Structure 1
Amino acid sequence: MTAGDRRVVVTGLGPVTSIGVGADDFHAAQLKGLSGVRPITRFDAGGMPVRIAGEVDLPAARAPAARDAATADRSTHLAVAAAGLALESSGLDLAAEDRTRIGVVIGTGSGGVSTWETNTAALLTHGPGRLGARFIPMSMANSPASRICLDLGLLGPSSAVVTACASGADALVTASQMITSGEADVVLAGGTEAPVTRMLVGGFAKIRALSTRNDRPEQASRPFSADRDGFVLAEGAAVLVLESAAHAAARGARVLAELRGFGRSSDAHHVTAPHPEGAGAARALRAALRSAGLRPQDVSHINAHGTGTGYNDAAEAKALHAALGEAAGRIPVSAIKSMTGHALGAAGAIEAVAAVQAIDRGVVPPTTNLAEPDPALGLDVVGGTPRDLPVDAVLSNSFAFGGHNVVLAFTRPAPA
């Protein structure tokens, strides 16, 4: 095939989030500015400094069967649900496809952490005889990708990506490379995370990364706000169906957007704090523009990493100004973690879905809880209500602990 045939397009969306499950419900919730943050129910959080999180309510039709519930971690259940939704959204008929040409890439930050936590407690309390027989496969970071392949009978390349909060976006990069290299024609790619556990909530609270607005859960996540005090941990997953443009055209698929390019970099600065000037993030932004053949003035919208911590939001704003110049102050910016919370390794994939929907539906979601935007950031953060506008190109940012930076560039699909 020619290089043009290997352009990477998006044909299916499968978000599983605290504000909605499925593309339509997820998009409607974004436009309403709904919050999925609430008091924690997945464990007894009494006595903990942080007692709020974004939890997912899986509809009965998407929940695992009883025989499957005990054989996989919740992170895998969420990923499997997301893959099913994405596949249905794409209209891809697996029975008519060469399954050796369909790949899977799923990113995660912590893998089967609830399985690990439960078995650690059993080991320390009762000894090794009480470890679960499926403990190892359930807790592996590659378990979600493996389970999707098993359930759907997919025989192409499969992989897991672990780059903390950039994992979901990084998985889309890997999937894109599988397609452009000719290794696969279709890849189900995204991220998953189920971190609402006593250990992870306690651990992030210990390093003062989380908001402590326990009495006002829906107002706790406040990206780019002057009074932001930390992010809100969340569970979730999202899978996108990526295809070569030629494959999508051959089957008459509806193309939602094109994954035109990407940029990646490392901060090499600190294990948890971003570079104070956003230097690594700026390099990733510039690389994404180059890869996509875009100029700063071509960018219609920025889906920000926007966690709501003091350091992250400030560093991201500096990176945007450094990479985009004067355009940075006039491009509409949204941070949907204000609604969903921060789903760590799934966040980049969830936000990629939102970026694609902004292009496909011509509307930019709001950033909630933005009563007092931080004037020092110099950004046009969309607050209050969504904005209807033509969206031709979106940059979707994911910046992670460890200094991993990934920026995805999505554009309106070229005319057929």
Structure 2
Amino acid sequence: MPVITGLATLTAYGRGAEQLWAGLLGGAPARTPVTRFDVGARRARYAATVPGHPDLTDELAVLIEQACAQAGLTVDQRARTPLLLARHPTGPVDRATAGLAAACGLLGLQRIHTNACAAAGSAVADAAALLVLGEHPRVVVAAGQLVDAGSFASFDSAGVLAPDGIARPFSLGRQGPVLGDGAGALVLESAGEARRRGAVPLVALAGWGQAGDAHHVARPHPQGLGIARAATAALRRAGLAPEAIGYVNAHATATPRFDPSEAAGLRAALGPYAHRVPVSSTKALHGHCLIAAGMVELAVCALALRHSLLPVNAGHLAADPDCPLDLVLDRPRPAPARHALSLSAGFGGTCTALLLEAV
């Protein structure tokens, strides 16, 4: 079973997983008025951003270094470890991106995932497959996207961003997400390799699944077929029944169409247990990190398992009958969960599910 031995994150709550966890427990959304670029002509005015104008490639290099250091990788071990990257496509791969692996002392950039908001989860799933196939003893995965004028304008022009700056996943009255800065890196290796090195696993990746519903370029399948197939594949790979899952970190973007679709997908994958498993979408707090969403929310799941505490589904106003789920509301919920499911979905119907196990 693959295990994560190093993990580093950057969100609007700050640098590091502990800053992310403290922000989630505090329950106050990280969004602020946008100052990074002009939003005078925009309907939405808020985003969850770090101060200033950070460079994504520089931030990814720092995060990769932190993850590798936490994993205790030597210079020689890094040199034999490939990099899988998820980041927004900006045309041909620039030199900085292409040179990121070399700058961090890694074997090379093996693949760039650009499949929208499922990209980070897809990169982690592909890294796990490489380990299972025995192609590498370990893989570094990095993902990042910072709120920029172009993506903000695109989402705002489509009318999907919450104009009041409050995301309300699974709630009546939801008006869309709030975009957020997000980036992270992790070291994924076989459990045997981790034991051989004497590395301490943070969490195990018990199962993973990828699927597509091929329904519409921007709209999810009404019955959540992609989510259902990805979650079912993750459970099957882990050899677990739905009742083993103690927490679901949902992709829920607080849009009218997607949240009911994801709820339907969970019902299809988990059966009657879908009404009893605790669920929250932490995008209401750290923002929707787009391509990096799966990396940030994987970290959230790992922290929830470590602390036996489930983060809240913030911004909730009233129950939506189309989303009949056991939402974590009002305050974090104590729960000795052993398995957590992180779901991601992107335009084009691409979906990923990562099933984490406490160690």
TM range (shorter): over 0.9
Contact 2:173 2:317 in 1 (8 A): no
Identify which of 328, 332, 346 aligns with 2:278.
332
- Give the distance between the partners of 1:75 and 1:354, measured in 2 at CA: 21
What letter matches 2:128 in structure 1?
Answer: S
1:255-289 Cα distance to aligned partner (Å, 9 max, x none): 12111111111111100000011122111111111
What is the SS of the residue equivalent to 2:353?
A: strand
- Give the distance between the partners of 2:99 and 2:47, measured in 1 at CA: 26
Contact 2:120 2:291 in 1 (8 A): yes
Contact 1:10 1:256 in 2 (8 A): yes
What is the SS of the residue equivalent to 1:394?
A: strand
Q: Does residue 105 in structure 1 map to residue 84 in structure 2?
A: yes
What letter matches 1:175 in structure 2?
Answer: A
- Trace 1:10-25 onto structure 2 (pairs within 5 A): 10-25=4-19
- Give the distance between the partners of 2:340 and 2:239, measured in 1 at CA: 13
Task: Name the stretch that deviates more: 42-51 or 295-304.
Answer: 42-51
Q: Which has the larger radius of gyration?
A: 1
Contact 1:289 1:296 in 2 (8 A): yes
Identify which of 74, 83, 87 aligns with 2:64.
83
Task: Name the stretch that deviates more: 181-190 or 10-19.
Answer: 181-190
In structure 2, the residue matched to 1:241 is 187
1:153-207 Cα distance to aligned partner (Å, 9 max, x none): 211562211110000100101111222222222211131112321x221211122
- Trace 1:8-407 onto structure 2 (pairs within 5 A): 8-57=2-51, 74-90=55-71, 92-95=72-75, 97-108=76-87, 110-112=88-90, 137-138=93-94, 144=97, 146-155=98-107, 158-197=110-149, 199-213=150-164, 217=165, 220-407=166-353
What is the SS of the residue equivalent to 1:370?
A: coil
- Give the distance between the partners of 1:358 and 1:209, measured in 2 at CA: 29
What letter matches 2:215 in structure 1?
Answer: H
What is the SS of the residue equivalent to 1:16?
A: strand
Structure 2: which 5+ residue stretches go unaligned? none
What letter matches 2:170 in structure 1?
Answer: F
1:46-78 Cα distance to aligned partner (Å, 9 max, x none): 1221221121248xxxx98xxxxxxxxx33233
Aligned length: 359
What letter matches 1:111 in structure 2?
Answer: P
What is the SS of the residue equivalent to 2:139?
A: strand
1:67-109 Cα distance to aligned partner (Å, 9 max, x none): xxxxxxx33233223223322333x1323x333431211112x
1:385–1:161 distance in 2 versus 1, CA, 3 Å:
same
Task: Name the stretch that deviates more: 78-87 or 202-211.
Answer: 78-87
- Give the distance between the partners of 1:402 and 1:40, measured in 2 at CA: 28
- Give the distance between the partners of 1:262 and 1:235, measured in 2 at CA: 25
What letter matches 2:151 in structure 1?
Answer: L
- Give the distance between the partners of 1:383 and 1:204, measured in 2 at CA: 27
What is the SS of the residue equivalent to 1:275?
A: coil
What letter matches 2:162 in structure 1?
Answer: S
Structure 1 residue 376: Cα displacement: 3.0
Contact 1:99 1:156 in 2 (8 A): no
- Give the distance between the partners of 1:201 and 1:154, measured in 2 at CA: 33
What letter matches 1:208 in structure 2?
Answer: G
- Give the distance between the partners of 1:253 and 1:364, measured in 2 at CA: 27
- Give the distance between the partners of 2:19 and 2:27, measured in 1 at CA: 12
Contact 1:169 1:190 in 2 (8 A): no
What letter matches 2:32 in structure 1?
Answer: R
- Give the distance between the partners of 2:239 and 2:283, measured in 1 at CA: 28
In structure 2, the residue matched to 1:120 is none
How much is the aligned-residue C-alpha RMSD, in angstroms? Answer: 1.9
- Give the distance between the partners of 2:219 and 2:309, measured in 1 at CA: 33
Contact 1:33 1:367 in 2 (8 A): no
1:227–1:353 distance in 2 versus 1, CA, 3 Å:
same
TM-score, normalised with respect to structure 2: 0.94
Structure 1 residue 137: Cα displacement: 5.0
**In percent, how many aligned pairs have the same letter?**
35
Contact 2:48 2:178 in 1 (8 A): yes
Contact 2:168 2:317 in 1 (8 A): no
- Give the distance between the partners of 1:53 and 1:405, measured in 2 at CA: 24
1:273-315 Cα distance to aligned partner (Å, 9 max, x none): 0001112211111111101111011111101001111111110
1:76–1:111 distance in 2 versus 1, CA, 3 Å:
farther
Structure 1 residue 19: Cα displacement: 1.8
Contact 2:224 2:262 in 1 (8 A): yes
1:112-150 Cα distance to aligned partner (Å, 9 max, x none): 4xxx7xxxxxxxxxxxxxxxxxxx654x8xx54x34312
